[in-house]
């Protein structure tokens, strides 16, 4: 599955071939309107249906995806306020991929977006043009669609997600000229701008390369040889500390740990004493608020 995706990716870039393909995403999108008073909530039912179709029925790349290769992801939108056609919300975006030759699924992205506002009129079509944004709603959905694909491709090939991260970055650039929140530098250090800025920053290139090592050479290898796969994950984990020391507030690192904390603990519970000591020390440095949690690695 990974080899086929990589081959098609390279051919598409080099030959500019128009591939016919199934859609890339298998997105479970949910709208939670519990905070909104009133009995008539049909607009939220319609919004959930429209947004789900927007994510799943649109072609986001020129790659060929079989149905069983579609990227599993979830978007949970919690509506905080509703005034006519204007809404404020927060959003949690997650994506996953299967680990080679196993039934285990690993989380790639787990990101909470707390500053999301949009306008939506029931039954109006959801439209998107990357070069001319006209909807805060579809801009956010498209941004996460490209992130899901970028993270997936980065886990299968070294820096393989770059074209789709560039597309997400272009959305951020276009959104700078709007008054929609979540897209600007310095608005806060955990918004959409900050995340894609970290991903595309050359300072985090080693982290992205480790992201590939972690998944393709680590997790995927563990089914065949758990010792070798775990050793590769441990060997490269210094990258997290290096990135943290350079940029202590980097959201790309904290979001990685949000996705991987439980997984890392489970992986290294069976590690050598040397691996355990190294991993616990690094994780506790990078994420000190979770230091007690990482101590579980040392428990038998």
204-231, pLDDT tens digit by residue? 999 999 999 999 999 999 999 999 999 9
Quote the Cα angle for 146-205-218, to 5°: 85
Within a domain: 199: no
What are the strands of the beta sheet with 25-32, ordered from one edge? 25-32, 71-83, 86-98, 105-119
Listed residues 152, 168, 184: the one ending a domain = 168
CA distance 49 to 54: 9
For residues 139 and 253, membership in a common domain is answered with no
pLDDT 10s digits, 98-154 = 999 999 999 999 999 999 999 999 999 999 999 999 999 999 999 999 999 999 999
Indicate the pTM of the whole model.
0.91
Residues 31, 153, single domain; the answer is yes
Whether residue 40 is found in the same domain as residue 161: yes
Total domains, the chain: 2
Question: Are both 70 and 219 inside the same structural domain?
Answer: no
Do 31 and 97 sit in the same domain of this protein?
yes
100 and 6 in a single domain? The answer is yes
215 located within any domain:
yes
For residue 70, is it within any domain?
A: yes
Residue 79 above 80 pLDDT? yes
CA atoms of 283 and 295, how far apart (whole Å): 10
Assign 266 a pLDDT band (cuts: 50, 70, 90): very high
Asked if residue 18 belongs to a domain, the reply is yes
At residue 10, the pLDDT reads 40
177 Cβ contact partners less than 8 Å away, ≥ 6 residues apart: none
146 lies in the same domain as 12: yes
Is 181 among the domain residues?
A: no
- Rounded to 5 degrees, φ, ψ at 30 are -125, 140
Whether 59 is covered by a domain: the verdict is: yes
Any domain includes 193: no
Same domain, 232 and 281: yes
Q: Are residues 242 and 93 in the same domain?
A: no
Q: Is the Cα dihedral 132, 138, 144, 145 positive or negative?
A: negative
Query: Distance (Å, rounded) from C-alpha 79 to C-alpha 88?
Result: 6
Give the end of a domain, one of 138, 168, 198: 168
Mean pLDDT in the chain? 92
Confirm whether 180 is domain-assigned: no
In this structure, the answer to whether residues 211 and 161 fall within a common structural domain is no
| Same-domain status, 30 and 113 | yes
What residues make up the domain containing 257?
A: 207-298
Phi and psi angles of residue 75, each rounded to the nearest 5 degrees, phi first: -130, 120
């Amino acid at each position: 599955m990974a080899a086929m995706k990589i081959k098609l990716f390279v051919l598409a870039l080099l030959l500019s071939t128009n591939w016919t393909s199934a859609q890339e995403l298998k997105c479970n999108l949910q709208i939670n309107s519990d905070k909104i008073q009133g009995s008539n909530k049909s607009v939220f039912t319609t919004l959930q249906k429209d947004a789900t179709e927007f994510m799943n029925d649109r072609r986001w790349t020129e790659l060929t995806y079989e149905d069983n290769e579609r990227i599993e992801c979830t978007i949970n939108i919690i509506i905080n306020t509703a005034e006519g056609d204007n809404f404020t919300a927060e959003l949690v975006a997650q994506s996953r991929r299967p680990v080679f030759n196993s039934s285990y699924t690993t989380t790639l992205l787990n990101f909470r977006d707390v500053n999301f506002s949009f306008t939506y009129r029931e039954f109006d079509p959801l439209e998107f043009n990357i070069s001319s944004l006209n909807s805060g709603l579809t801009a956010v959905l498209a941004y996460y669609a490209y992130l899901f694909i970028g993270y997936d491709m980065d886990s299968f090939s070294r820096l393989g997600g770059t074209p789709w991260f560039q597309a997400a970055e272009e959305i951020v650039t276009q959104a700078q000229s709007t008054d929609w929140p979540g897209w600007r530098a310095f608005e806060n250090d955990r918004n959409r701008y900050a995340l894609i800025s970290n991903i595309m920053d050359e300072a985090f290139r080693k982290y992205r390369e480790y992201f590939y090592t972690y998944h393709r050479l680590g997790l995927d290898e563990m089914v065949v040889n758990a010792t070798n796969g775990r050793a590769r994950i441990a060997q490269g984990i210094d990258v997290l500390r290096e990135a943290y020391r350079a940029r202590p507030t980097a959201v790309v690192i904290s979001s990685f740990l949000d996705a991987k904390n439980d997984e890392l603990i489970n992986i290294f519970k069976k590690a050598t004493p040397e691996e355990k000591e190294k991993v616990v020390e690094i994780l506790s440095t990078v994420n000190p608020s979770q230091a007690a949690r990482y101590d579980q690695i040392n428990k038998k």
